[in-house]
Amino acid sequence: MSWIIAMATALVALGAIVLLRRRRKEAGRQGIEPVGAALLLGIAGYGLQASPGLPGAPKAPVQERVGDAQALVEARKGMGEPGAPAGSSWLVIADGMARNGRYADASAVLLGALDDNPRDADAWLALGNALVGHADGMLTPAALYAYRHAAEAAPEHPGPPFFLGLALAQSGRLAEGRAMWADLLARSPADAPWRADLKLRIDQLDAFIARQEAASAAP
């Protein structure tokens, strides 16, 4: 049943985007192919990491997740250029959903933004964050795909390496996450408003890694 739901959700999302383009009388497949690829990667990630044969185990909502979601949105916006526009209406709507932990809904809206503009780095970045949030902090293949497209669309944007590093660390890939943050810190301007926070996070991650190594070495 889980497989059927996953496939149906992907088909509904893709169908909604195609229908929207037809209503707007947009010809061609430009913009649809990367969105379709992201959906296919999401399904592939579900197949690799999920356990569709197991019975469902609903969990009560956790209040802290809403606070984390709000902080995630604000952190992403804080890494944009000072005075930059708020983004497309799609992104504004998706941010409102993500702030309340509605990551799946936010992802669907962001697919519409990327259908409009496949080179929208902020939309790709927000999609990566939404997919990670929906996976309870784990870096899925679809989220990695989104982060990579965000970096390709805006190579100098600090957001893609910062949030990819965060997702790597949350997924247990601490050394990879730290390396990505260290590289970002090394090439960031001295007056970057997010530099101090990044340095603090690296220090905290170093302390956590040191505690893990000490625990492993203890008899």
Whether 186 is in a domain gets the answer: yes
113 vs 22, higher pLDDT:
113
Angle at 45 between CA 182 and CA 122, to 5 degrees: 50
150 and 124 Cβ atoms separated by less than 8 Å: yes
Whether 218 is in a domain gets the answer: no
C-alpha distances in Å from residue 84, one per residue of 3, 106, 134, 150:
41, 22, 27, 17
pLDDT for residue 59: 41
Q: What percent of the chain has pLDDT over 90?
A: 51
Whether 217 is in a domain gets the answer: no
Phi, psi angles (nearest 5°) of residue 83: 80, 5
pLDDT tens digits, one per residue of 191-217? 998 899 999 999 999 999 999 888 888
Domain count, the chain: 1
pLDDT tens digits, one per residue of 82-132? 544 555 788 899 999 999 999 999 999 999 999 989 999 999 999 999 999
Whether 55 is in a domain gets the answer: no
Whether 58 is in a domain gets the answer: no
Give the range of the structural domain holding residue 150, as residue numbers without chain letter.
2-47+64-210
CATH code, domain carrying 129: 1.25.40.10
Whether 34 is in a domain gets the answer: yes
Whether 38 is in a domain gets the answer: yes
**Helix axes of 63-78 and 89-99: crossing angle, nearest 10 degrees:** 150
Residues 6+ apart with CB under 8 A from 151: 121, 157, 160, 161, 164
The Cα 176–Cα 178 span in angstroms is 5
Whether 54 is in a domain gets the answer: no
Q: What is the pTM of this model?
A: 0.69
